[in-house]
Chains A and B, each alone.
Chain A
Amino acid sequence: MAEHLMCELSVPGRRGFQFPDSDVPEVKLPEGMLRDDLPLPEMAEIDVVRYFTRLSQLNHSVDTGFYPLGSCTMKYNPKINEEAARIPGFANLHPLQPVETTQGALAMMYHLQQWLSEIGGYQATSLQPAAGAHGELTGVLIIRAYHRSRGDTKRNKILVPDSAHGTNPATSAMSGLEVVELRSDDRGNVDIEALREHCNDTLAGLMLTNPNTLGLFDENVEQVTGMVHEAGGLIYGDGANMNALLGILRPGDIGIDVLHYNLHKTFSTPHGGGGPGSGPVSVTEELADFLPDPVVGIIDEGDESNNIPPLYGFITPPKTIGRMKAFQGHFGMIVRAFTYIRMHGPDGLRKVSEYAVLNANYLLALLRDHYHVPFDRICMHEFVAEGRWEDAPEIHALDVAKRLMDFDFHPPTNYFPLIVHESLMIEPTETESKETLDAFARTMIRIAEEARSEPEILKTAPHKTPFGRLDEVKAAKELVLCCVPQFAR
């Protein structure tokens, strides 16, 4: 069932696309600067279309089935988003056009900045970061710059809970800070005593995910943010889990100073097979001057009485950490998120989070008698169960995950968070129906039974997918990363 590669499908002399002939006098190409060979395929249009269409059919996707991948918020991506981003007035806009010719795009960015600030409870927002991890780096650089701007050079320590996503410690290390891991208590909250030990004048900040990666709302969050602030530190909020809080609670209101959003999770921009993401960052008034360069602002107020609209443009924040990437952000994702928020309004957004949390708790209720749930209390938009049983010692979470594929379900996230053994992190999202959740739960329960009665069927799963388990060791050992042989010359 494996598909051929293009280097095998290519036939010398075939062409898939023709450009018009040149309409200018010919000039000689620069001798000595030309390449000899161009190793690209030679295929007809139909071959290319069939090849990629067939490849696409080997994927599981939100459009084809339930995708409860914890911490990734695999909600339905409305089709209107795709139409919106392709409107020629957005898709064909050059990033360096004079701002007078891009007022629509700038107004849209300005409003999305305002809306995200409102949703999170902040003063200002940058839309520039390209992804969640990029937003994290932005946020941590802001925290560092803030301390430095006050002449406070001692603050080099950043606390990261042991339940945090791997990007959190990697980000802090990348920004030159010392990462200190903070343990969780037995209810899955930040351990207050452990935190107290670190609350001193070397504390730059704490990276907090709330709801955390166990899907639990930290019950002591205000105590945590209070202690860090008292010690002179700042709180970075990982907004990966904002899908639980829209219209419910604003992170800015509970002491989180910087927050990144994932437009590709919470605001329905598609995941694209692993990107593009978009990771805007919101900050409190105190930190607004440190945002990346540029932000969108009003550069001329206009005159309402004379029907002269305001003029939007780019502004460099006075103490900016600098530019995080070329140009002004993933505008295509900004259009989609704008569309999504515009179609929901305040009540619709609240309903998104209410139903996301409802769906997760419903699944939790259906599964808790069959799977061990290490931190069993009302969850937010996701929860973590364990894929192991004392009476099925050879079965691991991985086996449960692989078996689920036989029933057309994408498995939950497994082996994360690291503090739970054999974890299965389940995030149904609000867009799934009761019937889908019921069917998924029935399958999970069946697999839990199989784990005891027919463990072999789990160990050898998946059976009904186009591909079976892969030899990952061989891939890493032989390291074939490109098509061999090369294209026929």
Chain B
Amino acid sequence: MFTPHTKDDLEAMLETIGVASIDDLFKCLPAEHKYHQLDLPPALTEMEVLTELRDIAWANDTAQELVSFLGAGAYNHYTPAVVDSILRRGEFYTAYTPYQPEISQGTLQAIFEYQSLIAGLTGMDVCNASHYDGATAVAEAVNMAYHNFRGKRPKVVLSPAVHPHYRQTVRTYTQDSDIILSGDQGEVDLKAGPEALVPLIDETTGLVVVAYPDFFGRIYDFTALAEAVHEAGALLAVSVNPMALGILKTPGEMGADIVTGEGQSLGIPLSYGGPYLGLFATRQKYVRKMAGRLAGETVDNRGQRAYVLTLTAREQHIRRDRATSNICTNQGLLALAATVYLSLLGKHGLRQVSTLCYQKAHYAADQINKLPGFELWSGQFFFNEFLVKCPQPAHEISDHLMEHNLLAGYPVGKDYPGMENYLLIAVTEMNTKEDIDWLVSGLEEVTNG
């Protein structure tokens, strides 16, 4: 199907090569292991495979068939039709890394636009071409801070309200290094704000990591924290949900040194967890410490403005074992998705959707807070997600409501022992007032029943 060779082609090609058969090309491979018959199902045609795939997909209940209030790091948003129609252009998705800038200006200029948009959105000076996801972006921030201080400040203070998967990923990345992680092992009260992290910062601390909104949806002004971090000589990294930055004060304005984030909210499908988009922005003075690709502006030999991958001397293909990260790709197509999304929505559209998320979430929280036995844990300062204390184990509630095709939220007990009765509820522009009222009545019924 995907190989165009005819019988005549084969014969002519083998003759040109000077061998009698294709098998002759594999002569130097160890004979006793060659041509193991693979135990795989037989081939299907396109028609058959599509039928099979639809059958498989049918066994899933999607976030759009269900009424979903599930977030916890991945959000059900509307993606305008324009985004996918651009993504489906073969010129974008079947190209590779723009190593040859003369014939890759489409990809390069799009990366440059992405860098501009994300830098503006986060309030930072520079942004790279992206990392794998929100979790690995935090791991890269840890790595960058460690190298920035040449290993002399090995301590990292991690807020316990950073996404559990992100903290786990940081632990995996740093397991064999002398980086010391603290802050999320019960040292601070979960309910406390960022000021609770300050006593953990000392002269060995290289980085403090917080989330905005945090895992529980809360939003804080980190200005005072940034001051304390800088006074101690360390850096502050803020892991964001960029959707919140449609209305909220930027981490840049608060004094963050690094902004990482999960860009999935910006026009990228849920797709069962990936591929997503790792945002990474920093201050101009750290640009050479930042891992990952960068597109920079220049001119070509005809005097035209053009773009090229720059500062490549930081990267693995030049520095090999002296590189600080092995990253050699970005999330090109997802960065393009976010770029198209932000361009289309623009100044007004992003503010509108961000406001909708905020308003609807606050409406939902108010209604749930009124239910007997339920209590809003996240306080009044949250974006589009909030934690509620329930009168019974949250997973029982969510299992029960699942039977009514309602994804009520994420029970956090698995990640936060002792919090088995807490449910994390996310609301987006996709949730109508009717959906929210249904959730509220569902919660009421379950707990009365």
Contacts and interface: CB of A to CB of B under 8 A. Distances in A.
Contacts of B22: 354, 357-358
A253 B125 CA distance: 51
B40 A115 contact: yes
A417 to B, nearest CB: 11
Contact of A346 (B37, B54, B287, B333): B37
Interface in B1-25: 1-5, 9-10, 12-14, 16-19, 22, 24-25
Interface string A383-417: 00000000000000000011001000011010010
B62 to A, nearest CB: 4
Contact of B275 (A51, A78, A330): A330
Contacts of B163: 326
Contact of B247 (A34, A39, A250): A34
A279 to B, nearest CB: 10
B214 interface: no
Nearest to A78: B2
B61 interface: yes
> What is the size category of the interface that chain B forms with chain A?
35 or more
Q: Is the interface of A mostly helix, strand, loop or mixed?
A: loop
Given A27-B362, A133-B327, A273 B306 contact: no
Interface in B227-285: 245-250, 253, 262, 269-276
B441 interface: no
Interface string A170-212: 1111111101000000000000000000000000000000000
A298 interface: no
Contact of A29 (B84, B136, B358): B358
A80 B50 contact: yes
Interface size on A, as a range, is 35 or more
B91 A59 contact: yes
A141 interface: yes
A145 B24 CA distance: 41
A33 interface: yes
A468 B305 CA distance: 11
Contacts of B448: none
B238 to A, nearest CB: 14
Contacts of A144: 176
B272 A90 contact: yes
Interface string B297-310: 11111101111101
A85 B343 contact: no
A375 B66 CA distance: 59
Interface in B87-131: 88-107, 109-110, 112-113, 115-117, 119-121, 123, 125-127, 129-130
Given A33-B248, A176-B177, A465-B103, A101 B73 contact: no
Contact of B310 (A43, A328, A430, A479): A479
Interface string B338-368: 0010111111111111011011101100100
Contact of A325 (B103, B110, B169, B323): B169
B120 A96 contact: no
B166 A274 contact: no
B61 to A, nearest CB: 4
A222 to B, nearest CB: 6
A433 interface: yes
Given A95-B270, A274-B332, A275-B329, A324 B172 contact: yes
A466 B103 CA distance: 7
Interface in B46-73: 46, 49-50, 52-66, 68, 70, 72-73
B113 A292 contact: no
A87 B346 contact: no
Contacts of A32: 221, 249
Given A19-B353, A24-B433, A170-B320, A91 B270 contact: yes
A326 B273 contact: yes
Contacts of A61: 90-95
B274 A43 contact: no
B433 A133 contact: no
30 contacts: A19-B349, A30-B380, A32-B221, A33-B248, A40-B343, A48-B340, A60-B95, A60-B104, A61-B90, A69-B96, A94-B74, A94-B270, A102-B60, A107-B59, A108-B56, A217-B29, A247-B38, A248-B29, A272-B92, A275-B275, A276-B275, A323-B171, A324-B172, A343-B49, A358-B14, A377-B28, A410-B100, A416-B317, A468-B302, A475-B297
